[in-house]
Structure 1
Amino acid sequence: MAQVEMNRSVQTRPWFRQITPAQWQALLASSLGWMLDAMDVMLYSMVLVYLMSDLHMDKSMGGFLATLTLLSSALGGLIFGILADKFGRTRSLMISIIVYSVFTALCGFSQTVTQLAILRTFLGLGMGGEWVAGAALITESWPAEHRGKAMGIVQGSWAIGYALAAVVSGLLIPLFGWRGVFFFGIVPALVTFLIRKGTKEPEIWEARKNTRSDTEKEGSVIKIFDRKVVRWTILGSALSICAQFGYWGLFTWIPSYLATSVSQGGAGLSIVKQTGWIVIMQVGAWLGYVAFGLLADKIGRKATFILFFGLAAILVPFYGFTHDATRLLLLGPLVAFFGSGYFSGFGAVLAELFPTSIRATGQGFCYNFGRALAATAPFIVGTLAKSMGLGAAFSITAISFGIAAILVILFLPETKGRELT
């Protein structure tokens, strides 16, 4: 009876007071890692106009290098997912941060397109690994009723990192050029000391590690194609393809779109205005990430996905065919809100579809297999832009968002409140 009263007392407190210090620490570690991952990855988009000029690249090659990074990130997600299931979420998270930090900084030494391509490939391994390790850490550490909120906060840190990349570029490009921007990318490596010092492995993973037999295979890729879970592997991968094609096809090129002259189909903004427009846009993205998490815990994962994918598909064409700076400023936060916020649902939903023994592997495979196929988006948009302009080329991403909404309607089960096993 006393235990029942205690549980009732806990549930009546505000949700943020129900979270333990260890759970907050896990959230901090994952959020910082993801925020700085975003900053390092998006630095490329911020300096792409200058890279194309200095290294003599056209838009197709600029898009191809972004595609190359996404392809390697897919491999990184699979590798680090297996490592996270075998050796722990926290260890995998730290190593992934070090990898993407070091190789971002090394990009600043590139003298040729080939050198830059090789370094961006290694950077991608860490980029893909960070998401899967951080997602597994959060979804296993936080209670089911607040899992969506936690992933919303973590995903929201991507918007902060994107905006930080714009600010860093705006400050450093006039002083040190694009090389100085990349050198700043080493900063995230310092975060690993914070993670190592205070972040514990989730109890459910520790319990699984201590009780499994020597013959059990943790993190086996084969097991995510078992007949019991293969439908979730296929669905998760398909949703990831559509969601990430839309995101990377759009947001890789938006900084270049804003900086490109009006005569070439862009908005023709100065570096100062470009920075401001992107920061404001990412405020909208942050609100979208957080709102998705809150809504997913309130009305369910399925309805929230449909809302965000559907409105993203509608808003993107309006943004792409707008060249007026004021209208872009007003539309930008809305496009980012719905065109980014849905990522908050992936970590929670995939965690709720896969068991603990293969959770990080399943999350890593679906999210990053999707990223591998969606990696063609920057290249496709860049290629189309040569004939129709960047704004018009963005319309292809709207189709991808629309397909994602249809997949959710037809195939995704509601997993709100599901306890992990």
Structure 2
Amino acid sequence: MQTSNDYHKKNYKKAPIKEVHLRVFLAIVLGQIACGYALGISGTALNDAQNYIHISDLWVGLIGAGSLLGLMGSAIMGRIADQFGRRKMLMIDMYLFALLSLLQLLTASPLALFLIRFLIGLMIAIDYTVGNSLLVEWLPLNESGKRQSQLIIYWTIGFILSYIAGITIHGFGSRNWQIILASSAILGLITAIFRSVAKLPASPSWLASQGKYKTAQKLIQKHIGKKWGLPFKLLKAKPTDSVSWKTLFTKQYRRRTLVGGLFYACQAFAFFGISIFLPILLASMGMSDSNLSGIIYNGCMLVGVLLGSRLFQTLSRRIFLIGTFFLSALALLLMLLGPAHAFVFQMALFALFSIVLSSGLTLDYPYPTELFDIKVRATGVGTCITISRIGAASGTFLLPILASLGGAHLAMLVCLVVLIVGGVICLIWAPETSPKYISKNN
């Protein structure tokens, strides 16, 4: 029950950055590093495993795609978060993530590994969907987009660390590849302990959407200050009913759901397909020093996300999306048409592809959250991630098979087609969501 005093509080979303904002941000950042590491580690581990055990291309693809298939549970996790809240899910998921990572030490069965990787993907789904929702619901409005776009930098750091760990961990004989896989438990446990010690707060916006205005107001005043409170819009809003997935495909949300999922899927197909199985792809391309080439590629990936986080603040979302799809497709096309054995030429284009495509990853967190309002945000973002993981899992599953059937050229040709499709979808459907550019057009 609101009191008249509640309406005189300043909107907490306009407050300056406080300790609670940084604490929530760091908790999500650590999760992003752990998630990026866990997703990237499978490629180098499976490449190492082939030195000791026989794994068919089919199982290499399935195990590599296992976590990405688990991420398809994002829609379910998002819906649970919209119904039961964000905090508790984020407090437990990284403990389970660490435990599942360690279980990879106990089996060499392809089926068991696939199932474990799938469950790890479900834990990552919680961090992607629920973590991003909690973050955007705490951050001040003028910080939200910028901080979300920075998340991919930390995810990429985790992803690159997995590549470095994969090529440097050795000396464990036939169990070496299992040690590589299980190493993700370290980052998962660090994240879990921090969240326990930091005591993540609940989301005031979500509490208000459930009619718990008094609890939300107390939470805001405890962490930000007595003069801050819920925005007028949330105070006047009625508690939301359970959100059905059908809501996302009504006239109000249909286009946003489709473009949010399909841009993500096309981007993820190319990125994960190439990045996770980079050692296999580089070998197929005949790179004489695949470790050096891999380090260059991953270094360019970091350059790309740093560049992207800067461009995100200046370019419109729509132009940024369309540009990264078509420019990365052009880089792949030139690689396919250029001389196959010109190492410097091919590596320069591969580096350009890495920079452009990874710069577009900075849109993966803020853009889907901007597409949906508070009522359906976690469900909507979760659904977009679920659709995207179909693309990511398809790319990861198909790339080792395509590379085996037709070499690197066939794999890159398929990625090229998918990137062009993604660019066309964004050209036709992608709405502008940048507050700066929307206000200019109004």
* 2:29 partner letter: S
Which of the numbers 368, 377, 397 marks the counterpart of 2:386?
Answer: 368
Q: Which moved more, 1:204-213 or 1:137-146?
A: 204-213
1:282 and 1:265 map into 2 onto residues whose CA distance is 17
Among 263, 267, 281, the alignment partner of 2:287 is 267
The structure having more radius of gyration, on CA atoms, is: 2
Cα deviation, 1:277-311, whole Å, max 9, x if unaligned, reads: 43443332233223323323322111111221121
Deviations 1:19-41 (A, max 9, x none): 33322222211111011111112
1:208-357 to 2 correspondences below 5 Å: 208-209=209-210, 210-211=212-213, 216-258=240-282, 260=283, 265-269=285-289, 274=291, 276-318=292-334, 326=344, 330-357=348-375
Structure 1 residues not aligned, in runs of 5+: 1-6, 12-16
Question: Does the Cα contact within 8 Å between 2:35 and 2:124 map onto a contact in 1?
Answer: yes
Match of residue 168 from structure 1: 165
Give me the whole-angstrom Cα distance separating, in 1, the residues matched to 2:63 and 2:87. 30
Report the TM-score, using the length of structure 1 for normalisation: 0.84
Structure 1: distance between partners of 2:433 and 2:346: 36
Report whether the alignment pairs 1:401 with 2:425: no
Going from structure 1 to structure 2, the CA distance change for 1:55 and 1:125 (only over 3 Å counts) comes to: farther
Q: Is structure 2 residue 192 aligned with structure 1 residue 192?
A: yes
Q: Which runs of 5+ in 2 are unaligned?
A: 1-9, 214-233
Cα-Cα RMSD: 2.8
Look up the match of 1:203. Answer: 204
CA pair 391-28 structure 1, distance change in 2 beyond 3 A:
farther
- In structure 2, the partner of 1:3 is none
Which residue identity does 1:203 align to in structure 2?
P
Residue of structure 1 equivalent to 2:122: 125
Q: Is the 8 A contact 1:40 1:101 kept in 2?
A: no
The AA in structure 1 aligned to 2:181 is F
> 2-side partners of 1:47 and 1:268: how far apart?
20
Counterpart amino acid of residue 238 in structure 1: L
The alpha-carbon distance between structure 1 residues 361 and 174, as it changes in their structure 2 partners (threshold 3 A), is same
Alpha-carbon distance between aligned partners in 2 of 1:396 and 1:201, rounded to the nearest angstrom: 43
Distance 2:68 2:104 in 1: 16
Does structure 1 retain, via aligned residues, the 8 Å contact 2:87–2:203? no
Change (3 A) 1:143 1:57: same
Equivalenced residue count is: 396
> Within 2, Cα distance between the matches of 1:91 and 1:266?
48
Contact 1:74/1:128 (CA < 8 Å) preserved in 2? Answer: yes
The one-letter code matched in structure 2 to 1:364 is G
Confirm or deny: 8 A CA contact 1:237 1:366 kept in the other structure.
yes
Aligned to 1:149: 146
